[in-house]
């Protein structure tokens, strides 16, 4: 019997990407909440599992994997009945991988982490306008990626959708999505919201994250 444990917290976009993947694969797992504001990720017990002290961390039969992109690719490769979520076709996989790298290196790094670190951990209330501009650039790219297709890496649902939907919807904490300017993104979000597991795996966590940042009363500097 599969024994999986996921360490993280619902407001975290990368954690939600893993929860979406686990739900899509119908894999049972134990969820252990890690309060990063309280620095629980720096405990000796957690550092033994993940010396990089990030969330999420996945435990599978005594083995520990971290980084959401590595985790979701691993889960599909090991447990999926088909390769639809992470195609074995090299060209299709390359597109999925590109989107995953885009999420990691651009959306999360430039659009979420820099703001989260300064506001939540350093207590800053003014965020440089260049961070706002970075989010607009991100949304412009995602809108372009969706041209002529229903999903982020083509016309079928893949782990790239799980990774990017978790972070793109989280940008709502900083910049409300304009459905007129970004009709493809708006339609894509609505499409994924129809997944039976979406609300539990991603929707509620997005609202929690938005509420957290709303309480900070941060604003953009000029």
| Angle subtended at Cα 136 by Cα 130 and Cα 142, rounded to the nearest 5 degrees | 140
Q: What pairing do the DSSP bridges indicate for beta strands 63-66 and 30-33?
A: unpaired
Mean pLDDT calculated for residue range 192-207: 99
Cis-peptide into 56, omega within 30 deg: yes
Could you tell me if 125 and 119 are in contact, meaning their C-beta atoms sit under 8 angstroms apart? yes
Set 12, 116, 166, 170: catalytic member: 12
Across 36-63, b (16+ Cβ under 10 Å) vs e yields: beeebbeeeebeebbeebbbbbbbbeee
Q: What's residue 89's pLDDT?
A: 98
- pTM greater than 0.85 (yes/no): yes
Q: Encode pLDDT of 44-70 as tens digits.
A: 999 999 999 999 999 999 999 999 999
Among 63, 31, 4, 23, CA closest to 166: 23
Domains of the chain and CATH, by start: 4-79 (3.40.30.10), 90-220 (1.20.1050.10)
**Is residue 221 among the annotated active site residues?**
no
Q: Out of 35-39, 51-55, 139-143, which region has the weakest mean confidence (pLDDT)?
A: 35-39
Mean pLDDT calculated for residue range 195-219: 98
pLDDT at 127 over 90: yes
């Amino acid at each position: 019997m599969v024994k999986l444990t996921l360490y993280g917290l619902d407001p975290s976009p990368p954690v939600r990407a893993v929860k979406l993947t686990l739900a899509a694969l119908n894999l049972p797992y134990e969820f252990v909440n890690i309060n990063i504001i309280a620095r629980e990720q720096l405990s000796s017990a957690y550092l033994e599992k993940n010396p990089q002290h990030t969330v999420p961390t996945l435990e599978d039969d005594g083995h520990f994997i971290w980084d959401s992109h590595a985790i979701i690719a691993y889960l599909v490769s090991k447990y999926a009945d088909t390769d639809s979520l992470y195609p074995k076709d090299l060209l299709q996989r390359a597109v999925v991988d590109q989107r995953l790298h885009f999420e990691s290196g651009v959306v999360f790094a430039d659009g979420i982490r820099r703001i989260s670190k300064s506001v939540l951990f350093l207590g800053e209330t003014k965020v440089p306008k260049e961070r706002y501009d970075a989010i607009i650039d991100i949304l412009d790219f995602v809108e372009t990626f969706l041209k002529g297709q229903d999903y982020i890496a083509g016309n079928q649902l893949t782990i790239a959708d799980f990774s990017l939907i978790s972070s793109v919807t989280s940008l709502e904490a900083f910049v409300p999505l304009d459905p007129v300017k970004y009709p493809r993104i708006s339609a894509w979000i609505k499409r994924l919201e129809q997944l039976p597991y979406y609300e539990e795996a991603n929707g509620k966590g997005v609202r929690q994250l938005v509420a957290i940042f709303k309480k900070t009363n941060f604003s953009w500097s000029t």
